[in-house]
Amino acid sequence: MPSAPPIRPLIAGNWKMNKLPSEAVPWLRTLLDRLAAAPHDHCDVLLNVPATHLVPMAALARGTDVRLGAQDVSAHAEGAYTGELSAAMLRDAGASFVIVGHSERRAYHAENDALINAKLGAALAEGLVPILCVGEREDERLAGCAREVVLEQLAGDLEGIRLAGADELVIAYEPVWAIGTGRTATADDAQEMGSAIRADLVARYPESGASMRILYGGSMKPGNAAELLAKPDVNGGLIGGASLDADQLLSIVEAAR
């Protein structure tokens, strides 16, 4: 495998279904003030927020280097799909990224790899950068097939997906048993899976796979972030609980240095 050039880390919050839009705006104002006082040229900062929050947060974030993303997208471009949000709508509302295939959507909304594949296509067609989540359940890890599960997800999710460059896609390795549980994969386990994902990306995208960002997600906190982020194939974090707290998020930004 070619040796990867340095990859700029991406520190990405996933707010899930938390905070009201009216709470998010003053929260973001505080974060922006504090980021302005703490140079953070070493990484990109992104908040994946509920879609209702995008317009007011984007108005505030305009002209700053904080990016906004959504947490899901319709596989369809437009039409009679009650309750769905298209990639174009999310982009117009201020998103530049979107999480696709989060394990909570796989588990609670029966999303399968075919649907996730279609959602990736819809996001890319509108110029949104998908953050594709993959990861094994605890029973799968205990059965010794974590790697097979993740590689199978990648195969199904990325089938036929063409990319023009490394910045068009982000992968997040999120072991399901580590999400919201306070249990984290060890840095070595995260790297082992990161390197398997890297090899798959390089085989699939010879031009750009070595430079694509692979994030770790699952109880990343200020106390464990630096060790995880020091690994070559952990190029950032997808952070749930800790991203709701500006102090914790800023500590993780600092840990990416």
Residues that bind ligand 13P (CB under 6 A): 14, 102, 174, 179-180, 217-220, 238-242
Residues labelled as active-site residues: 102, 174
Q: How far is the CB of 196 from ligand 13P (least distance, A)?
A: 20
Using a 10 angstrom Cβ sphere, with 0-12 exposed, 13-18 middle and 19 or more buried, the burial of residue 80 is exposed
Which residues fall within 8 angstroms of residue 154, CB to CB, at 6 or more apart?
132, 134, 171, 197, 200, 201, 204
Q: How far is the CB of 104 from ligand 13P (least distance, A)?
A: 7
For ligand 13P, the closer CB: 180 or 206: 180
Q: How far is the CB of 179 from ligand 13P (least distance, A)?
A: 4
How far is residue 209's CA from residue 197's CA, in Å, rounded to a whole number?
Answer: 10
Q: How far is the CB of 176 from ligand 13P (least distance, A)?
A: 9
Residue with smallest beta-carbon separation from ligand 13P: 240
For ligand 13P, the closer CB: 47 or 179: 179
How far are the Cα atoms of 16, 48, 113, 154 from residue 52, in angstroms, in the given order?
12, 11, 26, 30
Which residues fall within 8 angstroms of residue 128, CB to CB, at 6 or more apart?
69, 70, 73, 87, 90, 91, 95, 96, 97, 98
The alpha carbon dihedral of 112, 117, 118, 120 has a sign of: positive
